Structure 1
Amino acid sequence: MSKATESSLLSPSLLAQLERLELVTRKIFRGRMKGERRSKRKGQSVEFADFRNYVAGDDLRMLDWNLYARLDKLILKLFLEEEDLHFYALVDASLSMDFGDPSKLEYAKQLAASLAFVGLIRADRVRIETLDQPVSQRNPVYRGRASAWRMLRQVEAIEPRGGTQLAAGVKNFCLRNPGRGIVVLISDLMDKDGYETALNYFLSHEMDCFVIQVLSQAEIEPDVKGDLRLVDCEDEDEAEITVSTPLLRKYQQTLNSFCSGAQQFCAKRGMHYLLANNQTPVEELIARHLRRRGLVR
């Protein structure tokens, strides 16, 4: 049994499903190494793609001499190029994510590990980071199936930590990773300063950006009543409330407005947005919802 199958994050049935998938990007990125990904650009692989006329400076080794003998024209053979892809998973490990059953953080870790595994088996370059990392701390880049157990060990070690500013975390990520590729932000987006500044930082990079907002079922449909004293887990701010039907209705309206606002904000900036309930199995989220949004196929 492989080390990957021994992980609590990836069950054997989930691994079997992930084996059949690959990450997809709408943009073309030039990789540093040859990978298993079919590029829209023409390169020098062994699979023929097309012909075109020779122009000065082209590689003479790519000339089709048989056509030259027949047509007396210099024609270049083009081949499909395979390239590797950068995949980044940016996980929110703030204390607000340590809520629910399973906790939002555990759900985020399983989702990040699943997508990273898909990238590894397709020879993409994978890096997983958290929002609380300083600019100078760059996590390792994983590549290939043999790196799966090291990737899983890193993800399993992620623990909830103190309050993390969403904007500062995304800004530091962008400063650490100036390259291109796919970035998936997995967060509840719960920051008193808002999410807008944070998400705008992604626009400075030519990345295919996916924002997955993870909420617990208890947040989506709270089952509470009576007099309560609420304490913010990150800054210990307190509020006393009396839960009533009108208050719950108002809460529901506010939450719906918050989520739809995030969705519209992302759509206007060419980002993908998905709301994930922690009760939705990760395999269903990937196979149905993320496939529909074009992250996997």
Structure 2
Amino acid sequence: MSAPTESLQLLSPELLAKLERLELVSRKVFRGRMKGERRSKRKGQSVEFADFRNYVPGDDLRLIDWNLYARLDQLFLKLYQEEEDLHVYGLIDCSESMNFGTPTKLHVAKQMAAALGYIGLCRADRVSIQALGGQGRRAPVLRGRTGLWQMLQYLESLQSGDNVSLLEGVKDFSIRNTGTGVVVLLTDLMDKSGFEQALRLLIGRRMDVYIMHVLSPEEVDPPIRGDRRLIDIEDGDQTEITVNAYVLDRYKQTLQSFLTSVKTFCSRRGIAYIPVLTDQAVDDVMTKYLRQRGVVR
């Protein structure tokens, strides 16, 4: 089956080969629904021996090591390394502010989501990549490498314009998805109502939360000067300003203060915060940057 031309713009064949060797890192222990390729921190039943422990009444007698009992006259259970699947959620902010930059923040978010999703598919994890808002309601839940093209087709269909707040988007996601797992939120965090409540809701779901904060270089260092009319792309609010060195300096201070507040909020609540600029190569982000940050290994 050949890949659609548009899909190849998200993941190159060379990157696919690199992603196959990676694994998503879960900082929490979740009970999977199906057997997978992921090593669990829990002990269970499989073909690979892990450890012994003392027998207690009620344990499965089939797991007793009778040879050890014959030598030591004590009952011990054999424990095996359990392999389980993980549910990986990728949540993409499709608000109009994401349709900015070259390439757009939305395109880069799709690339990152596709790469993370493919890593999960290669490890037999359950993968659900979905948009926040109405477009997320038709997102497929996939498992196995054969789900790659369906995932890419869904991602290519996503368009900016779902101007729901982060909180409303996360609420809708939480209602439709009752399980736990790793959730990666890909967003620019540009929400006038704030981001805190949305992240608290994910934490309350006992999710292992990662934030990939996608910004364009033009937002970090705006290449504009002179008299300008600024229009909010999402709600149409307008203001007229004169952009000079003083205004740009104040803007950068305000942006840095915002970024610091996001990092502090995430750090205090065990959320992994990962800033991403749209001019960073997706290959470098996935195979180097995210590995250094402990998101993949």
- On whether the aligned pair clears a TM of 0.5, the verdict is yes
Query: What's the CA shift for 1:109?
Result: 0.3
Q: Which residue of 2 aligns with 1:209?
A: 209
Query: What's the CA shift for 1:292?
Result: 2.2
Q: Is the 8 A contact 1:230 1:240 kept in 2?
A: yes
Report the CA distance shift for 1:4/1:294 in structure 2 as closer, same or farther (over 3 A): farther
Q: Quick one: distance in 1 between partners of 2:25 and 2:108? A: 22
Query: What's the CA shift for 1:200?
Result: 1.2
Q: Quick one: distance in 1 between partners of 2:11 and 2:287? A: 15
Q: Which residue of 2 aligns with 1:238?
A: 238
Query: What's the CA shift for 1:175?
Result: 2.1
Q: Is the 8 A contact 2:49 2:79 kept in 1?
A: yes
Q: Tell whether 2:71 aligns with 1:70.
A: yes
TM-score (norm 1): 0.96
Q: Quick one: distance in 2 between partners of 1:283 and 1:123? A: 22
Query: What's the CA shift for 1:2?
Result: 5.5
Aligned residue identity for 2:190? M
Q: Is the 8 A contact 2:88 2:181 kept in 1?
A: yes
Q: Which residue of 2 aligns with 1:267?
A: 267
**Root mean square deviation, CA, Å:** 1.6
After TM superposition, list the pairs within 5 Å mapping 1:99-178 onto structure 2.
99-133=100-134, 137=137, 139-178=139-178
- Secondary structure at the residue paired with 1:7? helix
Q: Quick one: distance in 1 between partners of 2:280 and 2:83? A: 35
Q: Quick one: distance in 1 between partners of 2:170 and 2:289? A: 24
Instruction: State the Cα deviation string for residues 129-152 of structure 1 (Å, max 9, x = none).
Output: 1111389x3632100011111111
Aligned residue identity for 1:252? K
Q: Which residue of 2 aligns with 1:219?
A: 219
Aligned residue identity for 1:270? G
Q: Is the 8 A contact 1:47 1:79 kept in 2?
A: yes
Q: Quick one: distance in 1 between partners of 2:162 and 2:296? A: 33
Aligned residue pairs total 296
Q: Which residue of 2 aligns with 1:296?
A: 296
Q: Which residue of 1 aligns with 2:24?
A: 23
- Secondary structure at the residue paired with 2:146? helix
Q: Quick one: distance in 2 between partners of 1:160 and 1:69? A: 68
Unaligned ranges ≥5, structure 2: none
Unaligned ranges ≥5, structure 1: none
Q: Which residue of 2 aligns with 1:97?
A: 98
Q: Which residue of 2 aligns with 1:193?
A: 193
Report the CA distance shift for 1:35/1:162 in structure 2 as closer, same or farther (over 3 A): closer
Give the percent of matched residue pairs that are identical in Structure 1 and Structure 2.
Answer: 56
Q: Which residue of 2 aligns with 1:252?
A: 252
Q: Is the 8 A contact 2:139 2:154 kept in 1?
A: no
Q: Tell whether 2:23 aligns with 1:46.
A: no
Aligned residue identity for 1:9? L
Moved more, 82-91 or 192-201: 192-201
Q: Is the 8 A contact 1:138 1:176 kept in 2?
A: no
Q: Quick one: distance in 2 between partners of 1:200 and 1:104? A: 24
Query: What's the CA shift for 1:116?
Result: 0.1
- Secondary structure at the residue paired with 1:119? helix
Aligned residue identity for 1:45? S
Query: What's the CA shift for 1:9?
Result: 0.5
Q: Quick one: distance in 2 between partners of 1:257 and 1:243? A: 20
Q: Quick one: distance in 2 between partners of 1:130 and 1:89? A: 8
